[in-house]
């Protein structure tokens, strides 16, 4: 079934090529397509394009389809082009001609726009929850190990004292900034394109504010041409925010791989979290972190892929946009998997509390000695030279009792402030209002 087909049968190879993976991707959008249809037909009844009795039977059947999709039992049948066609087919089978009325005042163009936005809203909420879970693990570990020192590095050379409190906490604060970027992407996502039809509006007296309110959007995409131009842009913006989260996790995974190696030995994974070798019986490999690093690096490529698919398109709709779904939709689940795995690993990771007993790390305390001399009245450049000559002559003896007190330092992690920063960002999403709007639509 094709909503646009009249009498001519499309060549089978052409059909296969143009449909591509659309039916597979549209399964993810099924319940959101139904939500959009519920809001749309309530508006159609309001403006006189549906009778009240027609609305009631359509709503009842659409809610049945929604439950089917919500349970994962929705199927796009062989020969049916997309989710929009499948929903309309199910309605017309059950209700006859009244099922054909739901498409008045809209196009598949604005249907897929609203489907993608509703899907993306729901997925961003899941990502925020999963980021928050990892954030909480990192803050907990930061507080637990705040007094355990470790070497800090510049240029991969031993540099200055750091701590596990700083290390865990740094990634927590990075995730908080990633949430800030996700919030910006959320605000662009949470605008209603429904009613833009094929990108040029409709001669029907649509009430776009009504569907905006019913679906819980903050506002609408006002200009109908821009609403259509927003396809691809919204996905690119959101993918950029996802890539920011992925970049944080990828860096953490790299650290973890390096720090678990015998040459470092800073942390250890439980044996059941590692894999072995087919030839070397001693191996305990951090494969989860390695796969996480690679998956997150792949996710970081998605904004560029979307850009290359869309950056030379003029205004209006083009079939090129169909392919964006294939790289965009799976990204959420893949990133959530990485976040969940990382949270599990970080919660169980074992910290080496005796790292700095190894004399090769003695020189990380050289700056501490320079600062001690400066505090006693020696000019900084003279103190620097004095300590440097002691190192060259093998006469440097480290004082490992350090006092860092400024905000964000070893002795003053500011974890409470980081938690407050993150929680204030989370509040701005307003997920509860969205959940209330959806509940009212489907009850």
Catalytic site residue from 184, 261, 277, 315: 277
Q: Is 404 a catalytic residue?
A: no
In angstroms, rounded to a whole number, what is the distance separating the alpha carbons of residues 87 and 81?
11
DSSP-derived letter for residue 119 is H
Given a contact cutoff of 8 angstroms between Cβ atoms, the answer to whether 266 and 352 are in contact is yes
Answer left, alpha or beta for residue 377, where phi above 0 means left and psi between -120 and 50 means alpha.
Answer: left
In angstroms, rounded to a whole number, what is the distance separating the alpha carbons of residues 235 and 119?
11
Q: Is 103 a catalytic residue?
A: no
Paired with 275 in beta bridges are: 285
* C-alpha torsion sign, points 211, 216, 220, 224: negative
Catalytic site residue from 155, 203, 282, 376: 155
Given a contact cutoff of 8 angstroms between Cβ atoms, the answer to whether 342 and 253 are in contact is yes
Query: How many other β-carbons are positioned within 10 Å of the β-carbon of residue 251?
Result: 15
In angstroms, rounded to a whole number, what is the distance separating the alpha carbons of residues 436 and 182?
21
Question: What number of residues does the chain have?
Answer: 443
Half-sphere exposure of 99 (CA within 13 A, CB side): 19
CB proximity list for 223: less than 8 A, separation 6 or greater: none
Given a contact cutoff of 8 angstroms between Cβ atoms, the answer to whether 213 and 434 are in contact is no
Decide: residue 299, CB within 10 A, 0-12 exposed, 13-18 middle, 19+ buried. buried
Active site residues: 155, 277
């Amino acid at each position: 079934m094709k909503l646009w087909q009249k009498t001519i049968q499309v060549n089978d190879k052409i059909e296969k090529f143009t449909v591509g993976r659309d039916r597979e991707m549209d399964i993810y959008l099924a319940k959101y397509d139904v939500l959009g249809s519920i809001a749309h037909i309530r508006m159609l009844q309001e403006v006189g394009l549906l009778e009240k009795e027609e609305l009631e039977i359509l709503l009842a059947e659409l809610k049945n389809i929604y439950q089917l999709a919500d349970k994962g039992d929705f199927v796009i049948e062989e020969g049916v082009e997309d989710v929009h066609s499948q929903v309309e087919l199910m309605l017309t089978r059950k209700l006859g001609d009244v099922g054909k009325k739901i498409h008045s005042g809209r196009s598949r163009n604005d249907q897929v726009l609203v489907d993608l936005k509703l899907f993306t809203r729901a997925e961003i909420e899941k990502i925020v929850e999963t980021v928050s879970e990892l954030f909480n693990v990192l803050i907990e570990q930061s507080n637990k190990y705040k007094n355990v020192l470790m070497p800090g590095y510049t240029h991969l050379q031993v540099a200055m004292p750091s701590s596990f409190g700083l290390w865990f906490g740094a990634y927590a604060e990075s995730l908080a900034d990633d949430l800030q970027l996700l919030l910006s992407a959320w605000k662009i996502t949470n605008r209603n394109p429904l009613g833009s039809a094929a990108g040029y509006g409709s001669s029907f007296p649509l009430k776009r504010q009504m569907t905006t309110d019913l679906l819980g959007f903050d506002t609408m995409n006002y200009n109908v041409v821009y609403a259509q131009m927003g396809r691809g842009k919204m996905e690119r913006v959101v993918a950029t925010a996802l890539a920011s989260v992925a970049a944080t996790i990828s860096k953490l995974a790299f650290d973890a791989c390096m720090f678990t190696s015998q040459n470092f030995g800073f942390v250890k994974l439980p044996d059941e979290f590692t894999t072995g070798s087919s030839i070397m019986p001693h191996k305990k490999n951090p494969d989860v972190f390695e796969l996480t690093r690679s998956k997150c690096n792949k996710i970081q490529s998605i904004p560029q892929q979307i850009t290359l698919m869309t950056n030379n398109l003029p205004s209006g709709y083009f079939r090129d946009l169909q392919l964006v779904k294939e790289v965009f939709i799976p990204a959420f689940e893949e990133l959530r998997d990485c976040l969940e795995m990382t949270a599990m690993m970080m919660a169980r990771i074992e910290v080496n509390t005796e790292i700095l007993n190894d004399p090769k790390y003695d020189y990380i305390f050289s700056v501490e000695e320079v600062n001690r001399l400066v505090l006693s009245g020696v000019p900084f450049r003279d103190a620097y030279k004095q300590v440097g000559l002691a190192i060259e002559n093998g006469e440097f003896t480290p004082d490992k009792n350090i006092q860092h007190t400024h905000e964000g330092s070893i002795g003053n992690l500011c974890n409470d402030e980081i938690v407050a920063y993150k929680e204030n960002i989370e509040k701005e999403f307003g997920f509860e209002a969205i959940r209330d709007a959806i509940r009212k639509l489907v009850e």
